[in-house]
């Protein structure tokens, strides 16, 4: 009835009010069966009344835990101006939800290559484990990842699953995804399929997509033309430029497989800009199925990575590591999503 006010109540305050010891309060608030149900309820009631919440610093100090997961996004841009990879951003929401469901908070951190992120988070007890997004490039990160392992830090990477690789990985079967994309274009009668994307060893995920693409071509007895392969990093402008480059080189092609939706969107813009119709003249397929893929015009056919499932997998894995359960790296199956940009729908295509 009389609402008890108090600035910063502690468990000791509650103990005093409830007429029990602080130890009992601590137990009661954690729902310990050691405390009689009646007492427990009474204590919890008082806590609620006082707007009391366990001091996480104190609890963490005692238990050596933080109940927090650090989400490290590799900040490719390096600068303060650029946008973060939207694919990772949209993953973030699902990760946060999944973590909350398991009682973990999520700390985000944009990391640059020069940063000393490799140990700090866990060593400082800010986080119990790390989720790494954008670190698919193992060549660059090898030493840092090794340092993480050496420091006994718990971490999970979103990226290609590679054997003999330190740490645990959740990733998408990129090769299969690239295969599906190319096979679909071939099934539509397309034969000259341009490939847009970076395939250096620095980008193993994109390289895998390329490998899948090649595999599909060979399976269909279509001879790949090196002139149709253009390197392009993951930016809309670069997708645009890649197509400009193909056109300037006088290459003829009837389809484009872009290693990323972002690149695909740039490619479409360049095509339309050059008076080439999509999908009538050129079919376009992207990769990722990012939120806007369905909403650009024409709606983008793409290879979906189920980011919700991915997020759940990442959180499951890191929580598993934290709670010392066995965890395995897993490869998720991508899925072709057919929309308008490839021309398979609505019979809009060349008849």
Q: Which residues bind DNA (CB under 7 A)?
A: 8, 10-12, 19-24, 26-27, 29-30, 33-36, 39, 52, 54-55, 58-59, 61-64
* Residue with smaller CB distance to DNA, 42 or 97: 42
Should residue 236 be labelled a site residue for a copy of itself when binding is judged by CB under 8 A? yes
Measured distance between the N- and C-terminal CA atoms of the chain, rounded to whole angstroms = 78
Other beta carbons less than 10 A from residue 218's beta carbon: 12
Phi and psi at 131, nearest 5°, equal -115, 130
For 64: left if phi > 0, alpha if psi spans -120 to 50, otherwise beta; the answer is left
Among residues 120, 233, 251, 306, the one that binds a copy of itself under rule CB under 8 A: 120
Could you tell me the smallest distance in angstroms from the CB atom of residue 41 to DNA?
11
119 is an interface residue for a copy of itself by CB under 8 A: yes
Judged by CB, which is closer to a copy of itself: 16, or 236? 236
223 contacts which partner out of a copy of itself, DNA, none, CB within 5 to 8 A by kind?
A: none
96 binds a copy of itself (CB under 8 A): yes
Token pair of 321 as six digits: 């590591």
- Nearest to a copy of itself of 82, 218 (CB atom): 82
Closer CB to DNA, 128 or 340, in the complex? 128
* Integer CA distances (angstroms), 262 to 73, 242, 267, 285, in order: 18, 12, 9, 11
The torsion of the CA quartet 36, 40, 42, 48, rounded to 10 degrees, works out to 180
Binders of a copy of itself among 56-95, rule CB under 8 A? 56-58, 60-61, 66, 68, 75, 80-81, 83-84, 86, 89-90, 92-94
Residue number with CB closer to DNA (61 or 151)? 61
Calculate the CA dihedral of residues 191, 194, 197, 202 and round it to 10 degrees: 60
């Amino acid at each position: 009835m009389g609402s008890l006010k108090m600035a910063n109540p502690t468990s000791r305050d509650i103990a005093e009010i409830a007429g029990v010891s602080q130890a009992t309060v601590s137990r009661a608030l954690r729902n310990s069966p050691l405390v009689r149900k009646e007492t427990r309820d009474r204590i919890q009631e008082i806590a609620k009344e006082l707007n009391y919440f366990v001091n996480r610093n104190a609890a963490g100090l005692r238990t050596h835990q933080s109940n927090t997961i650090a989400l490290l996004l590799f900040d490719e841009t390096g600068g303060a101006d650029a946008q973060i990879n939207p694919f990772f951003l949209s993953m973030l929401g699902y990760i946060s939800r999944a973590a909350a469901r398991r009682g973990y908070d999520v700390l985000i951190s944009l990391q640059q290559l020069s940063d000393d992120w490799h140990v700090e988070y866990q060593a400082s007890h800010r986080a119990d484990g790390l989720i790494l997004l954008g670190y698919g490039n193992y060549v660059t990160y090898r030493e840092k990842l090794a340092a993480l392992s050496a420091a006994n830090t718990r971490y999970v990477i979103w990226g290609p699953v590679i054997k003999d690789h330190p740490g645990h990985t959740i990733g998408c079967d990129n090769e299969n995804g690239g295969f599906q994309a190319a096979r679909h274009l071939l099934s539509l009668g397309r034969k000259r399929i341009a490939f847009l994307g970076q395939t250096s060893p620095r980008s193993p995920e994109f390289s895998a997509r390329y490998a899948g693409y090649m595999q599909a071509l060979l399976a269909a007895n279509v001879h790949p033309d090196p002139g149709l392969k253009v390197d392009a990093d993951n930016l809309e402008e670069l997708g645009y430029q890649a197509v400009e480059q193909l056109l300037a080189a006088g290459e003829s092609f009837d389809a484009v497989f872009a290693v990323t939706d972002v690149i695909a969107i740039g490619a479409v813009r360049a095509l339309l800009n050059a008076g080439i119709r999509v999908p009538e003249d050129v079919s376009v397929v992207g990769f990722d199925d990012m939120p806007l893929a369905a909403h650009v015009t024409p709606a983008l056919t793409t290879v979906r990575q189920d980011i919700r499932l991915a997020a759940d997998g990442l959180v499951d894995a890191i929580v598993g590591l934290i709670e010392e359960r066995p965890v395995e790296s897993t490869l998720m199956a991508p899925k072709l999503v057919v929309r308008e940009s490839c021309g398979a729908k609505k019979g809009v295509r060349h008849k």
